Amino acid sequence: MNQQTQRSMSSVIDQQILWNRLIAIVEEQAQTLLRTAFNPIVRESGDLSAGLFDIRGRMIAQAVTGTPGHVNTMANSVRYFLEKYPLETMHPEDIYLTNDPWKAAGHLNDFMLVRPCFHQSQLIGFTSCTSHLADLGGLGFGPDGSDIFDEGLFVPIIKLVDAGKLDMTFMSILKANSRVPIEVEGDTYALINCVECGSRRLSACLTDLGLADLVQISDYIMDTSRQRTRDLIRALPEGSYSHSMRVDGYDEPLDLVATMRIADGVIEVDFSGSSGVSLKGINCPLNYASAYSCFALKCALAPDVPNNEGALEPLVIKAPESSIVNAAFPVPVAMRHVVGQLLPDVIFGCLQKVTPDLVPAEGTCCLWDLPLRGGYAGGQNTGKTKFATELVHNGGTGARPDRDGLSATAFPSGVMGSLVEITESVSPLIIWRREYRMDSGGAGKFRGGLGQVIELSSSEEAPISLFAALDRIHFPPRGFAGGKNGKAGRLTLSNGTEFRPKGEQEIPAGEKLVVLTPGGAGYGDAKHRDPSLIEQDQNFGLVSAEAAAADYGVNAVSAKGDNG
């Protein structure tokens, strides 16, 4: 090796090491929150996010652990805090809080905390985190509210901790407004822990590396990420591309319409033409619609560019005011994820027209979660166990341009499905069946992922209430490039009664609820499917002999090895 002198180490490598360290700090924040959270949806499904910001309020790092629903909402939110509390008023031990859906993460249940970070007595940046609290009063977590005031306690940006002193008045109001006061208190403490741990780590890291502030690294991260994202966009053909998708809605179908304009290294998505606001709580504030739109763009174009403001800057999401994807105060927004999680398929629909074979066909998108309650009868003692639980399940994802879709798998959300033995140990339910739903994956050169069949009943011969907020029951996922549609979802009782996709409905004692989750759509013409895959699907009992004959033109051979 040439041993010439090298006085100062390359700033590039130093910057990159620091960048890695900052990402590790936000991951550590997210892990702290995951392990101390009370709300199951946080720890099982990662409904949280953690980020680091510079003093200008620019997000410089965000944990990968967490939900796509917070990707972009968090990036913009710290600025609102800075408007309310100017830099010069901040104390090293302050912590600020809001759950304003239009400033934080799209519905009241998401609390967002921001803490200033001081290093050597100088304010250098902020740590921030968001997570989902189980209950804030109102009608409870469901789509049935008529305005935001039905949906629970609204907390504007406040100082939760003032120079190290926790606002106990606020904590008592919070607890008094929740059906589960101990959990929401515990979760608030978990959030406090999370931002404090991040601040400590950040200061220790700067000490270790002998740095005074984040000014240089922040610019480096922004510039590198912005540049990379723009380069990736520049590789796409410029132009304007539109796509439209009809979905179930609350009581009438909704149209989600997007026009994607690609020019000069920027992608602009405009949701003009989409349906207006819903009377019920499935509306999306624009920040939340942006989050899932940016998530889809990142997956398709730049999955390896870390999340930060620079990476998001070239992605511009717009929507006309008072549309379902830019719902303004005070419309109800509690279940905004039902619509938000469908947006990636609208974005993919546009991208399919930009560059073929980049994105998957349509899939289930929205979670098939089943909030169930039982044992309540007007406050009277029924002798049955009182319970409230939420089973989380999924349908199939759309087939990819080069491979089949994933069966019974969450996308775009990152949740974990429920296990039968755990469900049965925490609630008086029996799950009678949880298996792949044969023939539900849309046919194609590549097959859509299968949905699943779930059958459940009370273990006590008691009625159960279902609070549904599901989609893709009236309008199934659609295939791309000649692929067939996936099977629509279905909710019925064992006696044949059909359930609506949304709203409270009762499962009478002695009946089973039969849940058929949707299958993903196919990609490409079914006649080009590899015959060995068709044979394997039959052999595995994923495709019936009849469907193989109808969809793939295969002579019916009785399925082998299927005893299920």
Partner 1 sequence: MSVSKNRTRLAADIGGTFTDIVLETPKGLFTAKVPTDLQRPELGVMQGVAVVLANAAVCAEEVDVFIHGTTLATNALIERKGAKTALITTEGFRDSLEIAYESRFDQYDLSIEKPSQLIPRNLRFVVSERLNVRGEVLIPLDRAGVVRLVPQLNSLGIEAVAVGFLHAYSNSEHEQQVREILIDVGCQAEISLSSEVCPEVREYERFMTTACNAYVQPLMAGYLRALEGTLRASGFACPLYLMTSGGGMTTLESAVRFPIRLVESGPSGGAVLAANIAAELDERKLLSFDMGGTTAKIALIEDFKAKTARNFEIARAARFQKGSGMPVRIPVVEMIEIGAGGGSIAHTDRVGRLCIGPQSAGSVPGPACFSQGGEQPAVTDANLLLGRIDPDKFAEGKMKLDSRAAETALVKHVAEPLSVSLAEAAYGVTEMVEENMANAARIHSVEHGADLSSFTLIAFGGGGPLHGVRLAEKLGIDRIVIPANSSVGSALGFLSAPVSFEVVQSLYTTLHDFDVTAVNAMLDRISAEARDIVSAGSGGAALVEARSAFMRYVGQGHEIQVPLPAHQLSEQDVGEVSKSYDSCYRRLYQRTIPERDVEVLSWSIVVSTVELSIEKTTAPVNYNDAQASGERSAFLPTEQDFATVQTYWRPDLKPGDQIRGPALIEEPQTTCFVNANFTGVIDNNANLILERVVR
Q: Is 7 in the site for partner 1 (CB under 8 A)?
A: yes
Closer residue to partner 1 in complex, CB, 422/549: 422
Binding track over 42-61 against partner 1, x by CB under 8 A: -xx-----------------
Stretch of residues binding partner 1 (CB under 8 A), selected from 165-173, 412-420, 462-470, 546-554: 412-420
What's the gap between Cα 423 and its chain centre? 22
CA 215 vs CA 60, 123, 205, 266, 379: distances in Å = 11, 11, 15, 25, 58
Closer residue to partner 1 in complex, CB, 331/481: 481
The Cα–Cα gap between 117 and 94 comes to: 9
Out of 407, 440, 457, 458, point to the residue binding partner 1 (CB under 8 A). Answer: 407
Closer residue to partner 1 in complex, CB, 144/183: 183
Stretch of residues binding partner 1 (CB under 8 A), selected from 26-34, 123-131, 246-254, 258-266: 26-34
Contacting residues for 503 by C-beta, under 8 A, at least 6 apart: 143, 144, 250, 467, 468
Q: Is 265 in the site for partner 1 (CB under 8 A)?
A: no
Out of 77, 199, 225, 457, point to the residue binding partner 1 (CB under 8 A). Answer: 225
Minimum CB distance to partner 1, residue 245 (Å): 18
Q: Is 299 in the site for partner 1 (CB under 8 A)?
A: yes
Taking every pair of Cα atoms in the chain, the longest distance, rounded to a whole number of angstroms, is: 85
CA 461, 465, 470, 473 dihedral sign is: positive
Q: Are the C-beta atoms of 399 and 360 separated by less than 8 Å? A: yes
Q: Is 414 in the site for partner 1 (CB under 8 A)?
A: yes
Out of 321, 421, 531, 532, point to the residue binding partner 1 (CB under 8 A). Answer: 421
Q: Are the C-beta atoms of 364 and 395 separated by less than 8 Å? A: yes
Q: Is 250 in the site for partner 1 (CB under 8 A)?
A: no
Closer residue to partner 1 in complex, CB, 384/400: 400
Per the DSSP assignment, residues forming a β-bridge with 278 are none
What residues from 437 to 476 belong to the interface with partner 1 (CB under 8 A)? 452, 455, 459
Per the DSSP assignment, residues forming a β-bridge with 48 are 131
Phi, then psi, of 85 in degrees rounded to 5: -120, 95
Minimum CB distance to partner 1, residue 505 (Å): 23
Out of 243, 337, 400, 445, point to the residue binding partner 1 (CB under 8 A). Answer: 400
Q: Is 5 in the site for partner 1 (CB under 8 A)?
A: yes
Q: Is 219 in the site for partner 1 (CB under 8 A)?
A: no
The Cα–Cα gap between 547 and 106 comes to: 42
Q: Are the C-beta atoms of 109 and 99 separated by less than 8 Å? A: yes
Nearest one of 286, 280, 269 to 321, comparing CA atoms? 286
Q: Is 197 in the site for partner 1 (CB under 8 A)?
A: yes
Q: Is 354 in the site for partner 1 (CB under 8 A)?
A: no
Q: Are the C-beta atoms of 70 and 109 separated by less than 8 Å? A: no
Minimum CB distance to partner 1, residue 233 (Å): 13
Q: Count CA atoms closer than 13 A to 238's CA, side-chain side.
A: 7
DSSP state of 280: S
Minimum CB distance to partner 1, residue 35 (Å): 6
Q: Is 314 in the site for partner 1 (CB under 8 A)?
A: no
Out of 83, 147, 238, 435, point to the residue binding partner 1 (CB under 8 A). Answer: 435
Q: How many CB atoms lie within 10 A of CB 216?
A: 14
Closer residue to partner 1 in complex, CB, 170/189: 189
Closer residue to partner 1 in complex, CB, 26/157: 26
Query: Mapping DSSP to helix (H, G, I), strand (E, B) and coil, where does residue 169 land?
Result: helix
Q: Is 138 in the site for partner 1 (CB under 8 A)?
A: no
Phi, then psi, of 452 in degrees rounded to 5: -130, 165
Minimum CB distance to partner 1, residue 323 (Å): 27
